[in-house]
Amino acid sequence: MALSGSKPVLGLTTYLQQAQTGVWDVRASFLPAIYIDGVNLAGGIASLLPPQPVDAEIAARVLDGLDGLIITGGRDVDPAGYGQQPHAATDEPVADNRQRDAFEFALVDGAIRRGMPVLGICRGAQVLNVALGGTLHQHLPDVIGHTHHQQGNAVFATSAVRTVPGTRLAALIGESSDAQCYHHQAIDRLGDGLIVSAQDSDGVIEAVEIPGQNFVLAVQWHPEERLDDLRLFAAVVEAATAYATGKVNA
C-alpha cells in the first residue's frame, strides 16, 4: 500500500513460456524491461506478476499489495475463453497459455471489483474484453484483407488511431495518435460495460474503456514502444496514486 506522497506500486503481468538466456533453455516467467521503464519513468514502482495457479482468494491477496494493474502483451488468448474453436493462425492454447489467461482473468475481475486502476496493453485489451464476456476476431487479415497490423519479424507498424470524443482516452491523448501496433487479433463483440474509445481507418477497435470514475482503459497498441510519450503510463500511475491514497484514508 502506498502512503501519501510515496510512489504507487503497479503490478505487471508476465509471459510464461520456454526462454533462452546464455547456456540455459528453460520454462520461465519474464517481461520485456521496456514495460518496467514506462512505469518507472512515469513515477511508479513496477512489480512483476508471474502466471500461477489462481482462484479468487489468491487473486485478492496479490491485489492487496498493489495500487494499480497493467495487463501486458503476449500470446493469443485461448478462444475457448470466448466460446470459439482456434483459428489456424491462433497461438496453440498450451497449458502455460491457459494458466496465464486464468491468472489475468482473475486479476482483472478482482481489480475492477475493488475499483483499482487497470491498464491493458495489446493482449491486455483482449484479456479485458474476454474477461467481461466479449469476443475477438482471431485473425484480422480475414476481416480487413491485409496484414498491416502485424507485419512479422518483430517489426512494429505505425497506425493512425482516432479517439472517440468524450472518452477518457480522448481527454488523455487528444483526437488522434500514431500508435505502434503488432497484433493479428482484435476485439469483436464488446464485453459488458466497455465502450469503444479509439478505432483506426479500417474500423478496427484500438482502445476500450469503462466509463465512470474508476480508471479501466485498454489499448490495442504498444505505448511502451514510444517512451517519449508517457501519457498513458502517467495516467495509470496518477490513478494508482489516488487509489492508494484512498486506501490509506479509508
CA distance 239 to 247: 12
Rounded alpha-carbon distances, angstroms, from residue 2 to 79, 128, 214, 230, 243: 37, 25, 18, 21, 9
Predicted confidence at residue 1, as pLDDT, reads 47
Does domain 9-249 fall under CATH 3.50.50.60? My reply is no
For every residue of 185-221, DSSP letters joined together read -EE-SPPTT-EEEEEETT--EEEEE--SSS-EEEESS
Q: Is the dihedral of CA 59, 77, 147, 170 positive or negative?
A: negative
Strands 118-121 and 68-71: parallel
Q: What are phi and psi of 58, to 5 degrees?
A: -65, -45
Radius of gyration of the chain (CA): 17
Predicted confidence at residue 104, as pLDDT, reads 98
Q: Where are the alpha helices (DSSP H) in the chain?
A: 33-41, 56-64, 95-114, 123-131, 140-144, 168-173, 231-249
Predicted confidence at residue 156, as pLDDT, reads 66
What DSSP character marks residue 125?
H
Predicted confidence at residue 95, as pLDDT, reads 96
Q: What is the pTM of this model?
A: 0.93
Q: Is the dihedral of CA 4, 209, 113, 37 positive or negative?
A: negative
Predicted confidence at residue 5, as pLDDT, reads 64
Q: Residue 43, Cβ neighbours under 10 Å: how many?
A: 15
Q: What is the pLDDT along the chain (250 residues), one digit of tens a residue?
A: 445 568 999 999 999 999 999 999 999 999 999 999 999 999 999 999 999 999 999 999 999 999 999 999 999 999 999 999 999 999 999 999 999 999 999 999 999 999 999 999 999 999 999 999 999 999 888 877 665 555 665 666 778 899 999 999 999 999 999 888 767 899 999 999 999 999 998 899 999 999 999 999 999 999 999 999 999 999 999 999 999 998 766 5
Predicted confidence at residue 146, as pLDDT, reads 63
**Active-site residue numbers?**
122, 222, 224
